[in-house]
Structure 1
Amino acid sequence: MDSRPIRRFRPDPGRAAPTDAERARWPVSVPAVAQLLDTGLELPHGALVLVGENGSGKSTVMELLAVTLGLNPEGGTVNTRFSTRPSEPESLGLVVERSPGASRWGCFLRDETLHTLYSHLEQISSPDPSYHELSHGEAFLEVLTRRAGGGGGTYLLDEPDAALSFGGSLALVTVLLDLVASGAQVVVATHSPVVAALPGARLVEVGDWGMRPTRWEELELTVNWRQFLTDPAAYLRHLR
């Protein structure tokens, strides 16, 4: 029996494919988005990790998944609703294939809107601690841990490593492993080789080609970090 909360995101068969004019405009002009709208995206059991350069489309893909799931585009759980400055794309004709009876719990956290989420939680007198009084990394780990619904659900995390030290990234990996062990699905967009090494995760590299499966040791991210740490001067002397 397929126990995945979400089996796949797929194009709505009742909606026309993007026209040439639409493909020339953002966000469909982003190769990863165009691929998502053409062929969809299957979610594995456990974790899916998206890795790619700035501007590759990782965050736009994450926003599209969140909007399609009905999650608040600026972050939060299925029960969160607030908006400051809408900048996210519409669902663009994606639909969700769910497993019957699977948890519909969902949570979307994105680094760039965490400050607004924390302020929203204060305004509604949430029982959460005051995240503004914690460090950036501590607050992220705390809000994620508190929103772990238990027993499944889907968690979308856009660049969670931006707030975290090396030790914090390891702590995040521990939280993600706990979520997966509880039956949850996790989708993470990251620049961290630590987070990308999440045990058991399916890795997808995002770039001009769209989205393609890969292995940790083959990631451009991993290769670049390994070379830099071996000989940082070889990189830095070209910057002056």
Structure 2
Amino acid sequence: MRAEQPPVAEIGLYADAEIDWDAWPATLPAVGQLLRGELQLGPGVTFLVGENGSGKSTLLEGIALAFGFSPEGGSANANHSTRPSESPIHQWLKLRRGIGAPRWGFFLRAETMHSFYTYLEDLGGSASDPDFHALSHGESFLAILETRFNGAGFFCLDEPEAALSFQSTLALMATLQSLAEEGSQILCATHSPVLAALPGAKIIEVGPWGLRESSWEDLELVQHWRRYMDRPQAYLRHLLDDAG
């Protein structure tokens, strides 16, 4: 039976949150909007799309940690850390859980999956788990999708396309669509115009303006890729001339 509300029904602040609005990360326009309550997550899939340094991964990390995930990723039950580097956002955020919503979920972040595989190995793993360390980067990601991305829950993904080929990205899209149909809530930070094209997904473009809802066709990311694929030399000529 589908829950009446998604896992994260509302994002707010603790009344005693001590935020230095003149220091990072509050100075990032996107983070400032989040802290002012201007980011609403609905059911289904929400993509955060933006350039490096725009704050999309910082936003996702803060929400994921406030939900209860480990800073280095994994399931809602994982608890491991090798080197703390997260921002303090999660200490300020107060998430209201959806009525009847599941507490299961998974936080996938590309740069820390190696430590998560070691964590699973140290625990003894599951009989259905492959030897993640013996797989290629992309193969291990796909194995995580097959073994951990199931049932309704809250799923956070930080640039999952980093390890995936074109075909594997399509497989990820199918997985996200299936999760959404089962009642899951998915938040994904991405640079991929392929992934962001998932039908029915909400797209939030992150940049100097902060947060703004966008259509796929209007994304700066999509427009740049279209122009590049049509005339790569128009981009490369300037780069190579400058380098010379």
* TM-score class, shorter: over 0.9
What displacement does 1:5 show?
2.1
Whether the 8 Å contact between 1:205 and 1:213 is mirrored in structure 2 is yes
Q: How does 1:169-208 map to 2 (within 5 A)?
A: 169-208=169-208
Mapping 1:55-74, distance limit 5 Å: 55-74=53-72
Q: Could you tell me which residue of structure 2 aligns to residue 50 of structure 1?
A: 48
**Does the CA contact (< 8 Å) of 1:27 and 1:89 recur in 2?**
yes
Aligned residue number for residue 77 of structure 2: 79
Which whole-Å deviations, capped at 9, do the CAs of 1:131-166 have from their partners, x for residues lacking one? Answer: 11112112112112311241x110000000001111
User: Does structure 1 residue 107 correspond to structure 2 residue 109?
Assistant: no
Amino acid at match of 1:138: E
Return 192-201 or 39-48, whichever deviates more: 39-48
Letter in 2 for 1:28: A
Paired with 1:239 and 1:134, the residues of 2 have a C-alpha distance of 36
Normalised by the size of structure 1, how large is the TM-score?
0.94
Deviations along 1:96-147, one digit per CA (max 9) or x if unpaired, are 1222111011210100101111111111110221111112112112112311
Query: Does the Cα contact within 8 Å between 2:4 and 2:100 map onto a contact in 1?
Result: no
Equivalent position of 1:98 in the other structure: 97
**Percent identity between the two aligned chains:** 49
Kindly tell me the number of residue pairs found equivalent between the two proteins. 235
Distance (whole Å) between structure 2 residues aligned to residue 148 and residue 167 of structure 1: 18
Distance 1:98 1:123 in 2: 31
Between the aligned partners of 1:221 and 1:186, the Cα distance in structure 2 is 21
Query: Which segments of 5 or more consecutive residues in structure 2 lack a partner in the other structure?
Result: none
Q: In structure 2, what is the equivalent of residue 132 of structure 1?
A: 133
Question: After the TM superposition, which segments of 4 or more aligned residues of structure 1 sit over 4 Å from their partners?
Answer: none
SS of corresponding position for 1:67:
helix
CA positional deviation for 1:81: 0.7
Which residue of structure 1 aligns with residue 12 of structure 2?
10
Q: CA deviation at 1:88?
A: 0.4
- Superposed displacement of residue 8, structure 1: 2.1
Q: Is the 8 A contact 2:72 2:112 kept in 1?
A: yes
Q: When the two structures are superposed, what TM-score results if normalisation uses the length of structure 2?
A: 0.92
Post-superposition CA distance 1:33-85 (Å, at most 9, x none): 11111115221110000000011011111110111101101000111011100
Give the direction of change, closer, same or farther, for the CA distance of 1:194–1:95 in structure 2 (3 Å limit).
Answer: same
Partner of 1:229: 229
In structure 1, the gaps of 5 or more residues are: none
Question: Could you tell me which amino acid in structure 1 is paired with residue 8 of structure 2?
Answer: I
Q: Given that residues 105 and 149 in structure 1 are in contact (C-alpha distance below 8 angstroms), is that contact kept between their aligned partners in structure 2?
A: no
